[in-house]
Amino acid sequence: MQELIAQVQSMTALAIGLIFAFAALGTALGFGMLGGKFLEGAARQPETANMLQGRMFIIAGLLDAVSIIGVAFAALLMFANPLVGAIGG
């Protein structure tokens, strides 16, 4: 039984690492594309830069929210692992 619990905990640790990595990677790619498209749009039509900037900040908040949800899910797995409880640990 202890071996099964250790195996579940080790696989959970790997999953947590992947969640953190993909959350960071996805957010970085999203911010890079967002910033590039904002600069491209502002360079093409400078008069719309203020409107685009406001929308860019709204999308930036949504990008952060997605990664924070992933981090919260990883924290749940880290500190209150439901998988260990399901096997009777």
CA count, 13 A, side-chain hemisphere, 1: 6
- Residue 81: the pLDDT is 85
Looking at the structure of the chain, the number of domains it has is 1
List of long-range contacts for 47-50, beta carbons under 8 Å, 24+ apart: none
CA dist 34 and 52 (Å) reads 11
Q: Confirm whether 17 is domain-assigned.
A: yes
In a domain, residue 88? The reply is: no
| Contact partners, residue 20, CB within 8 Å, separation at least 6 | 70, 71, 74
Catalytic residue among 51, 64, 65, 68: 64
Residue 54 domain-assigned (yes or no): yes
Q: What is the pLDDT of residue 89?
A: 54
Token match 């039984």: residue? 1
pTM score of the predicted model: 0.77
64 is catalytic: yes
What CATH number is attached to the domain comprising 77? Answer: 1.20.20.10
Q: Per residue of the chain (89 residues), what is the pLDDT tens digit?
A: 889 888 988 999 999 999 999 999 999 999 999 999 999 999 999 999 999 999 999 999 999 998 999 999 999 988 988 888 778 75
Residue 89 counted as domain residue: no
Domain that holds residue 39: 2-82
